[in-house]
Structure 1
Amino acid sequence: MSQWITVCDLEKIFPATGICALVDGKQVAIFRPSEESQVYALNNMDPFAHSNVLSRGVICEHQEQLWVASPLKKQRFNLKDGSCLENSEVSVDVYNVRVADGKVEVQL
């Protein structure tokens, strides 16, 4: 059975930024691309740099899709499916995430 874990209040994530949360022992990067309540969650580990830095990346748009650019090696990862724009053989894990009653929750 899956469980939703509350991470923080939505208002704690500034629009156009990301945060890192420790969820069940895993570093999860949670992104809020705009003023809206839509959020995305990826594994925080940059598979190229082998560092937990994706939450510090820059949110960008390419071909009408949202991506995060790693702050170290600059590869872009799709916020919906975790795929890498620059290397189709690499991806990061994606987590189910939602906003419920103003709280950001990640599903285990």
Structure 2
Amino acid sequence: MELIADKKDRITWHLACHQSDVPEEGGACALIEGKQIAIFHFTRRGEWYATDNECPHRQQMALSRGMIGSQQGEPKVACPFHKKTFSLKDGSCLSGEEYKIKTYPILVKDGLVYIGI
């Protein structure tokens, strides 16, 4: 499925998983176009997010197993190894370092989760 925002921006939606595959208040990982994508479900907020699964601090594929929460209202994930925290909205590092993760559009429809690449 492809949506075109304008002539330069094309988003192709990829089926990642069933909604039930992602734990409530947690994350899961999907392989899409050879990339590990972390998918997060904030059940209590009714929000979904998708980011790279790789933590840029030590290049470990671990973010989908990180703890999610919020920092001054900003949804975030903490790397399970070194506790670097990242905004799930824009990927910026909330721990004060210059690291950044890529974020992806996400769509949940009819019990299925799609990631836009």
Match of 1:105 among 84, 90, 114: 114
Match of 1:53 among 35, 39, 62: 62
Structure 1 unaligned spans of 5+: none
Q: Normalising by structure 2, report the TM-score.
A: 0.86
Alignment size in residue pairs: 108
Taking the aligned partners of 1:96 and 1:45, their CA distance within structure 2 comes to 17
Match for residue 11 of structure 1? 20
Moved more, 79-88 or 92-101: 79-88
Give the deviation of 1:86 after TM superposition. Answer: 1.2
Give the deviation of 1:88 after TM superposition. Answer: 4.7
Q: Which structure has the higher relative contact order (CA within 8 Å, separation 6+)? A: 1
* 8 Å Cα contact 1:10/1:37 also seen in 2: no
Q: Normalising by structure 1, report the TM-score.
A: 0.93
Give the deviation of 1:87 after TM superposition. Answer: 2.8
Structure 2 unaligned spans of 5+: 1-9
Runs ≥4 residues deviating over 6 A: none
Deviation sequence 1:2-27 (CA, Å, 0-9, x none): 21111111122111110010011000
Match for residue 70 of structure 1? 79
| Larger-Rg structure | 2
Give the RMSD, CA atoms, in angstroms. 1.3
Deviation sequence 1:37-68 (CA, Å, 0-9, x none): 52100000111121100000000111011100
Moved more, 1-10 or 76-85: 1-10
* 8 Å Cα contact 2:21/2:28 also seen in 1: no
1:26 aligns with 2:35: yes
